[in-house]
Structure 1
Amino acid sequence: MNDSSSTIADVTSVAAVSTASSSTAATPRRPAVRLRTLRRDDYPALIEILRRTWYSEWSGGQKADSDCSRRLAEADFHSCLARSSEATVAVLHGRPVGVILARVDINVPKRLCLLPNRHHRHIIRTLFPLLFSTAGRSGIAEMLRINRVDRRLIRGAKNRYDAEVTLFLVDERIRGGGVGGFLFDDLLERFRRVGVRRYYLFTDTGCNVGFYTRRGLTHRREEKVEWDDGGSTVFYLEEGTV
């Protein structure tokens, strides 16, 4: 992928998957869906899906206005891009309806994805205005808290894995159409081609955890977090093999 269409951190190199090879993996159930490399002009549609899925009504225990929820979703999206080396989007009737991002450490050492890049700069610009509102500050604090949970879950286990699935997102309005399975199976096939044997991802009880269980992933570690509003979330480190 060249810079005009790449969503990957500037310091990484990408083994892109051609549209032709992805198309051969299509299932009869969803012939209209095709997979292709993620482009920059896909960002707004995917950020909106992310906003509706996790940021539409709530931010850090505060009622989030549309600007706050959009900025939190945009920062989350770019945070995932900043540490990814693979990016594939599912397109239905000409519009993005899902995306899967991953980092293959066999080709791209994780330390390189931690270096400052354009995605990190974008995150700072996006979140800065939220420092001046209660909901914005609470939303940022909660994002940082979740990041700390993820770091605790993976602590001491990073060297076990060849790759990470950094974001897996499907438009909830078509969730029953097999798009998620199409995207995930395509990624696993690419993992096989480059020699990935064991991979991981983070998920929680606010997501479709059963999807990963049905595909044979294992709850390797978990941590329960109690929120100020009385609710709770269980976060998981999921481990899969190829």
Structure 2
Amino acid sequence: MEEKTVLRDYERKDAPFLQDIIRKTWQYDRFCSPGTAKRLSRLYLAGCMANQTFMKVAEVGGRPAGVIMGKDCGAWKPSVTGLLRQTAAALALLSGKEGREVARAFSGINQVDKELLKESEKEYPGELSFFALDVRYRGLGIGKKLFRALLDYMEQQKISRFYLYTDNSCNYGFYEHQGMRRCGQKSYKVPLAVDNEMQFFLYEYDVD
């Protein structure tokens, strides 16, 4: 019997599942120890949750299989709870030498993203702030359902255009298939144990 996919609001119990999806999607264990990879995925999720006004979790057979987050830039305000959660996760990562090295590398990636947005010379009222899908559930149409839910939200908020940061370690072709356009690209050599040059992209989508 085929398991039913349900899109629902986030629940606290989802955190470990979503952290695991993040850890596997970005392959954190390639360049750091399991403990640091776990703390890094916790920080990444906390940061994403602090930067959103819309969030839906895809559940398959009672288990979270993916998540999408969006941001109405005009309506977003910092959340005390979100900031505290993010601070706690950051302190946990920075408590070890390896964690501090990884944090420095990711600060460089954040700078690349900021440069992409600045060079676009555009103002975006919305953002696709995070999207991830467990690799085991790809090809089943779940990603499209999550993306459609985000589009519905953007339309409800009367947001005409939104943007997304992504890179070549992700399935960025998915966004192109959904109608998003690449409008910026930068190379950056990530200074980690897996020393490689990556491509970082800025995509946009016109809701109208």
The normalised TM-score by structure 1 is 0.78
CA distance in structure 2 between the partners assigned to 1:154 and 1:34 by the alignment: 34
1:32 maps to what in 2? Answer: 4
Does 2:63 correspond to 1:95? Answer: yes
Unaligned regions of 5+ residues in structure 1, if any? 1-29
Unaligned regions of 5+ residues in structure 2, if any? none
In structure 2, the CA distance between the partners of 1:234 and 1:156, relative to structure 1 (3 Å rule), is: closer
Contact 1:99 1:168 (C-alpha < 8 Å) held by counterparts: yes
Which of these residues, 51, 57, 64, is aligned with residue 83 of structure 1?
51
Contact 2:39 2:92 (C-alpha < 8 Å) held by counterparts: no
CA distance in structure 1 between the partners assigned to 2:52 and 2:93 by the alignment: 25
**Structure 2 counterparts to residues 64-79 of structure 1, below 5 A:** 64-79=32-47
The offset of 1:127, in angstroms, is 2.8
Contact 2:25 2:170 (C-alpha < 8 Å) held by counterparts: no
In structure 2, the CA distance between the partners of 1:97 and 1:158, relative to structure 1 (3 Å rule), is: farther
**Structure 2 counterparts to residues 151-166 of structure 1, below 5 A:** 151-155=114-118, 160-166=123-129
- The letter of the residue matching 1:208 is N
- The letter of the residue matching 2:94 is L
Question: Which SS does the other structure have where 2:15 is aligned?
Answer: helix
- The letter of the residue matching 2:41 is A
Contact 2:26 2:170 (C-alpha < 8 Å) held by counterparts: no
Which of these residues, 111, 116, 140, is aligned with residue 148 of structure 1?
111
CA distance in structure 2 between the partners assigned to 1:157 and 1:204 by the alignment: 16
CA distance in structure 2 between the partners assigned to 1:224 and 1:56 by the alignment: 20
**Structure 2 counterparts to residues 169-188 of structure 1, below 5 A:** 169-188=132-151
CA distance in structure 2 between the partners assigned to 1:186 and 1:45 by the alignment: 21
The offset of 1:156, in angstroms, is 6.1
Runs of 4+ in 1 over 4 A off after TM superposition: 156-159
Question: Which SS does the other structure have where 1:35 is aligned?
Answer: strand
1:134 maps to what in 2? Answer: 97
Which of these residues, 163, 173, 195, is aligned with residue 200 of structure 1?
163
The offset of 1:126, in angstroms, is 2.1
The offset of 1:122, in angstroms, is 2.1
CA RMSD of aligned residues (A): 2.0
2:205 maps to what in 1? Answer: 240
CA distance in structure 2 between the partners assigned to 1:34 and 1:118 by the alignment: 27
CA distance in structure 1 between the partners assigned to 2:29 and 2:73 by the alignment: 36
**Structure 2 counterparts to residues 194-233 of structure 1, below 5 A:** 194-228=157-191, 229-233=194-198
The normalised TM-score by structure 2 is 0.89
User: Can you list the C-alpha shifts for 1:107-157, whole angstroms capped at 9, x where unaligned?
Assistant: x14xx33xx622222222223243343321121112211111111111265
In structure 2, the CA distance between the partners of 1:226 and 1:40, relative to structure 1 (3 Å rule), is: same
Return the structure number with greater strand share. Answer: 2
Question: Which SS does the other structure have where 2:182 is aligned?
Answer: strand
2:86 maps to what in 1? Answer: 123
2:23 maps to what in 1? Answer: 51
Contact 2:120 2:183 (C-alpha < 8 Å) held by counterparts: no
Alignment: residue pair count: 204
